[in-house]
């Protein structure tokens, strides 16, 4: 994920292409939530994951099955703390 925000165009384009393909997988949103909840993860990767999750939900939420929406909600709310 961090490579998707790299300044070098070649590696960034490859990372973006990979993430676009990964975004088509059924459990992509849940996987991003798990990445965000990983303790000790580099802050840049967490930020990239948060942006990817936001954009994925924004553009794909309508197509997500009701059962999966519930799983993402439970997963994301479980990681929210003060």
What tens-digit pLDDT sequence spans the chain (82 residues)? 555 655 667 787 888 888 888 888 888 888 888 888 888 988 888 888 888 888 888 887 766 555 566 666 666 555 555 4
Is the full-model pTM beyond 0.75? no
Long-range contacts of 19-26 (CB under 8 A, 24+ apart): 19/52, 23/52, 23/56, 23/60, 26/68
Question: What's the pLDDT at 82?
Answer: 45
Question: What's the pLDDT at 43?
Answer: 86
What is the token pair recorded at 58? 């924004």
Question: What's the pLDDT at 42?
Answer: 87
Q: Is residue 36 within 8 Å of residue 46, measured between CB atoms? A: yes
How far is 70 from 23, CA to CA, in rounded Å?
18
């Amino acid at each position: 994920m961090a490579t998707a925000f790299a300044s070098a165009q070649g590696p960034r384009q490859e990372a973006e292409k990979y993430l676009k393909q990964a975004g088509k997988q059924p459990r992509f949103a849940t996987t991003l939530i798990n990445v965000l909840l990983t303790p000790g993860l580099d802050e840049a990767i967490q930020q990239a994951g948060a942006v990817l999750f936001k954009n994925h939900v924004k553009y794909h939420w309508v197509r997500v099955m009701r059962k999966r929406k519930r799983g993402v909600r439970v997963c994301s709310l479980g990681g929210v703390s003060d």
